[in-house]
């Protein structure tokens, strides 16, 4: 027993050193060692499902697609060098390709097409519209094929899946031409109910739910269903509004951060590991807006030692207890308020855009999205009847939050 324990300790120390070396290297890079970009890309490690080599990215089987994807996925980053760095660190799945300026041909050119996977957002359920959007995005990307066509939060009710068949016809047509391979779905509204129906329909190969420490029990059921049906899961919004959203209870946060320091984790890393630890979760996709977060977030995909340590129930409880105490105004996008609202105010979307603004600092995008809400359904048209507040299972102060959101987003 004792010699096993010593061997284990040596392995642990070795992994610890590997992790520190990675962080040191990452800091050097962030400080300006840009010359390394791309030079290591061709030497990216082979992708092995469940790979757990210390200091190297872990990969997991992405459900029935059979693909092996990095446990940390990236996308929506502002600068091309960020993509190069993420690729160098082992990220092999790119989210929202063709929808943003990056990544485009300048990133993909010269890279082995088998070394990465990607998805593209589709914003319409209409067959011709979906094909047109896909073809445009494909051209933007410079790729010949985008692995996943992703239906992006378009359903308002589970019945919509069967009602709007155009999107499936568009997918079949593009798949026949070899332009895509799989269909996935992201959903912000009534997430658990609608994504469960998507899985049960058998039409989707992967899902992208919002999932974090605030998620209600039905979201855990959804992840369990996905696992049972062998549908891959990439979790979004795992940081639950970003760093600034977690400043509300600074004293409690300081104590929690001290707790995670023992495991050499930042709060953000602990949140990402929390999700990766749930059976059925394939990967997480944090919104990365700068190099510091890039290095921190991607490091979560490394080093199985800290992942297994984090699995300890005490750490999990610390995080969930913390969440409980700062969650009084975190919207879970369950939609219950909207189902009773006489004015059809887009409450969940408005609160999500407010988070983009104040949590992630993504101000331009937040304002653009808010402008896209039909004027009759924006926060200005709330008549303060407060029916929504009575319906909200989390007792959010919806009316005051709507006023606040409108003042920053309008």
**Residues forming the site for ligand SF4 (CB under 6 A):** 331-337, 341-343, 345, 347-348, 382-388, 391-392, 394, 396, 398-399
Give the DSSP H/E element, type plus range, for residue 2.
helix 2-30
Beta carbon of residue 188, minimum distance to ligand SF4 (angstroms, whole number): 10
Q: Which is nearer to ligand SF4, 209 or 335 (CB)?
A: 335
Beta carbon of residue 57, minimum distance to ligand SF4 (angstroms, whole number): 34
Query: Any alpha helices (H) in 177-290, and if so which ranges?
Result: 191-201, 217-228, 250-261, 267-276
Beta carbon of residue 386, minimum distance to ligand SF4 (angstroms, whole number): 5
CA 281 to chain centre: 11
Q: Which is nearer to ligand SF4, 110 or 216 (CB)?
A: 216
Beta carbon of residue 226, minimum distance to ligand SF4 (angstroms, whole number): 22
Q: Which of 352, 327, 346 has the alpha carbon at shortest distance from 188?
A: 352
Cα–Cα distance, 75 to 96 (Å, whole number): 6
Q: Which is nearer to ligand SF4, 44 or 333 (CB)?
A: 333
Beta carbon of residue 328, minimum distance to ligand SF4 (angstroms, whole number): 11
Q: Which is nearer to ligand SF4, 94 or 360 (CB)?
A: 360
Tell me the three state secondary structure of residue 286.
coil
Beta strands in 123-192 (DSSP E): 146-152, 180-187
**5 burial type by CB count under 10 A (0-12 exposed, 13-18 middle, 19+ buried):** exposed
Q: Which of 373, 379, 374, 385 has the alpha carbon at shortest distance from 342?
A: 385
Cα–Cα distance, 335 to 391 (Å, whole number): 10
Q: Which is nearer to ligand SF4, 140 or 343 (CB)?
A: 343
Beta carbon of residue 343, minimum distance to ligand SF4 (angstroms, whole number): 4
Q: Which is nearer to ligand SF4, 272 or 398 (CB)?
A: 398
């Amino acid at each position: 027993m004792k010699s096993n324990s010593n061997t284990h300790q040596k392995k642990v120390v070795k992994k610890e050193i590997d992790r520190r070396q990675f962080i040191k290297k990452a800091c050097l890079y962030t400080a300006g060692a840009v010359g390394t970009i791309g030079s290591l890309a061709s030497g990216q490690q082979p992708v092995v499902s469940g790979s757990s080599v210390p200091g190297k990215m872990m990969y997991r089987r992405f459900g029935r697609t059979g693909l092996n994807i990095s446990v940390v996925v990236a996308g929506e980053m502002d600068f091309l060098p960020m993509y190069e760095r993420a690729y160098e660190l082992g990220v092999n799945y790119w989210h929202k390709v063709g929808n943003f300026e990056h990544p485009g041909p300048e990133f993909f050119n010269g890279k082995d097409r088998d070394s990465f996977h990607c998805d593209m957002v589709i914003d319409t359920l209409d067959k011709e519209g979906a094909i047109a959007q896909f073809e445009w995005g494909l051209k933007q990307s410079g790729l010949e094929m985008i692995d996943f066509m992703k239906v992006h939060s378009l359903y308002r009710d589970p019945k919509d899946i069967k009602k709007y068949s155009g999107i499936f016809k568009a997918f079949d047509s593009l798949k026949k031409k070899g332009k895509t391979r799989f269909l996935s779905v992201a959903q912000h509204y009534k997430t658990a109910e609608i994504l469960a129906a998507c899985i049960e329909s058998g039409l989707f190969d992967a899902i992208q739910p919002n999932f974090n420490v605030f998620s209600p029990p039905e979201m855990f059921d959804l992840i369990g269903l996905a696992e049972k049906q062998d549908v891959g899961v990439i979790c979004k919004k795992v940081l639950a509004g970003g760093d600034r959203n977690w400043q509300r209870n600074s004293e409690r946060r300081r104590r929690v951060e001290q707790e995670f320091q023992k495991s050499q984790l930042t709060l953000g890393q602990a949140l990402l590991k929390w999700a990766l630890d749930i059976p059925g979760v394939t990967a997480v996709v944090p919104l990365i807006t700068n190099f510091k977060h890039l290095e921190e977030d991607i490091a979560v995909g490394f080093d199985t030692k800290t992942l297994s340590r984090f699995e300890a129930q005490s750490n999990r409880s610390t995080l969930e207890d913390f969440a409980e105490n700062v969650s009084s105004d975190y919207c879970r996008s369950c939609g219950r308020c909207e189902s009773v609202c006489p004015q059809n105010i887009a409450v969940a979307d408005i609160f999500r855009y407010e988070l983009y603004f104040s949590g992630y600092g993504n101000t331009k995008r937040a304002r653009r999205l808010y402008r896209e809400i039909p004027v009759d359904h924006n926060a200005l048209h709330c008549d303060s009847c407060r029916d929504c507040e009575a319906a909200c299972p989390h007792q959010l102060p919806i009316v005051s939050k709507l006023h606040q959101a409108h003042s920053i987003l309008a």
